[in-house]
Structure 1
Amino acid sequence: MQFTALFTTTQDLTDAAKALYQLETRPTAAALESARIRLLDAMRHHCLTKDRELLAMLRESEDCAHQAMARRTTEQDLEWRQRMLDHFVAWPLRKIHADPHGHRAAAHRLLRLCERRAAHQEQLLLPMAEETLVLRPLAA
């Protein structure tokens, strides 16, 4: 299957979320910024790749269920990205230092969300994309 880049960006995103979760309880400003930039970059690459390799295929499908799933997934991914940004705003460095366990719990929720989105992709979206490939009319 042709989804190698998608698998790579999904793993990179999960690894970046784990790195944020595994930060020291009192990270330096540089360490926190580095982890956040890594996560944002991984999210951006993942979403671009997912849209190009997977969602575009579902949007172009003649099956309206595939088209609906592509729209729904796009909306959910936008909400996911917003939740990540909300996390960054909610947890400035001073608050992390004041409540390291609260930040760790919040970072854990972000990691779990990334893992759930990856499972959704693997269990639902990829089979739909493979079905779309099978259903495509053969070029004459």
Structure 2
Amino acid sequence: MDSHVVSLHNYPACPNPDLASGAGPHSDVSSITILLQDDVGGLYVRANECDKWIHVESVEGALVVNIGDSIAHRVLVSGSKNRVSIPIFVTSAPNAVIGPLPEVLEPGERPTYKQVMYQDYFNYHFSKGHDGKHTIDYAKM
């Protein structure tokens, strides 16, 4: 059975936001992440696994959707406003096999990633801590 988890995150305003940690660089292990943000902002995504961070502007009524082992992202706190975010994580069943879809490969093309059991992928993700987007390497051929 697939799982759906709703998290409620509160990031209190901090007069010295450079000295505070919202959520450090990480990626989500869920199949789909749907994020309802407030109007404060603070979500950043990493550009091409380098140290450049791009601010994701908050758009009233919009949802941020990440698919699969999503892009590395982080959250910074505001110096003047509390921030609330509500991510919904949709995950595969523990015994589900995840991997590339053969239908999307060109004839003769070899996949970059192997098929793995979701529970193994999930366990690997949490065995190493939040250190950016490196769980996907677990499934590389």
Q: TM-score range by the shorter chain?
A: under 0.3
Q: Which has the higher strand share?
A: 2
Query: TM-score, normalization: structure 2?
Result: 0.25
Q: Which has the higher helix share?
A: 1
